[in-house]
Amino acid sequence: MARSHPSRPAPPSAHRAHGPQGPARPVFCPIVPPHLLERLAGADRPAAAEAARRTLVADAAHRTRRRLTAVPAPTPAEGPPPRRTVYDAQHGTALPGRKVRGEGEEPVADASVNRAYAGLGATSDLLLDVFGRDSLDGAGLPLDATVHYDREYANAFWDGERMVFGDGDGEIFLDFTVPVDVIGHELAHGVTQYTANLEYYGQSGALNESMSDVIGSLVKQRVLGQDAGAADWLIGAGLLGPDVTGQALRSMKAPGTAYDDDVLGKDPQPATMDDYVRTSADNGGVHINSGIPNHAFYLFATALGGPAWERAGKVWYDVLTGGELAGDARFGDFARLTVAAVRERFGSDGPESEALAKAWSTVGVATR
């Protein structure tokens, strides 16, 4: 039976984007969902609570600005553009900030800058080497990132143009450049923006978030040289402070188990449709119900074994970029397209088709 979740109204129309055939409209996509920040804002931890309140205010402003600005189509560059540029906001909010490291330049003394630079590169490498995709837009879009955004800003986000990292509050959330999968996750929102352009609400929004978790996890696994069986399948491991009872923001292996903390509460992600959460908060639960397609991908990848990007990742990427995934797609729509994609890539009688069918059946999503 579907669960309800405490919520504040968030009209779907406020978060909708054009479909895949229209111009991409950027959506503010943070890694830390608002329900976590709202809980932290009311906690008896004065410094962390104040940082959460400030973050919520900043995030609300970003959501408003994103709805007012459309992304122009990329124009071909004359000659190779700089691929990576990292800026320092110097604890302000003006973007992009001061340039501190460009493509090919030596590491600097600031570890956040170097981690951001490396994470941009690792994501770009996955897209190009595995999927044959030249940057987020497929046309060599330069990758920009800004570190040290605001003071004690407890989030990281893709704003339609660049990655932005906060330093965290130092108590509940640490520096957001630490987990490379967070970087891959946020950049993947850019890939979605330029391809299927999934609406950031309800099941399509949960698919948007899940696709970013999948790509973020693949980036991390590839950096670590892990196959599917050896990976931890955690999103944001290393981000939570040492006193937090939890491992990460989300678990693709076991949704609902990433944390269970006195301050943050218990991870609300469901693993199957039996526990689907109906809520108007968090754009209709995009960071919550993403646990269902996340778990399906985990089951599919681990059943196949080997590096998850070699077979399972390519099926998910085929669907995201194939042109048939509607902007308002639901879980069943995505699942049916993965069935077609796996048959196209691997045939209908192989282990890939069998593993995929079992994965979607386990999480309760019909493929017919």
Catalytic residues, by residue number, are 186, 287
Q: Residues 353, 354, 357, 359: is their CA dihedral positive or negative?
A: negative
Show Cβ contacts of residue 288 under 8 Å, excluding neighbours closer than 6 positions.
5, 33, 35, 206, 268, 269, 270, 277, 279, 282
Write out the H or E segment, with its range, that includes residue 78. none
Contact 296, 253 (CB under 8 A): no
Q: Which two tokens stand for residue 76?
A: 């071909």
Question: Exposed/middle/buried for 12, CB within 10 Å: 0-12, 13-18, 19+?
Answer: middle
Q: What is the DSSP letter of 106?
A: P
* Residue pair 283/323 in contact by the 8 Å Cβ criterion: no
* CA–CA gap between residue 283 and residue 146 (Å, rounded): 25
Angle between helices 180-194 and 111-131 (to 10 degrees): 50
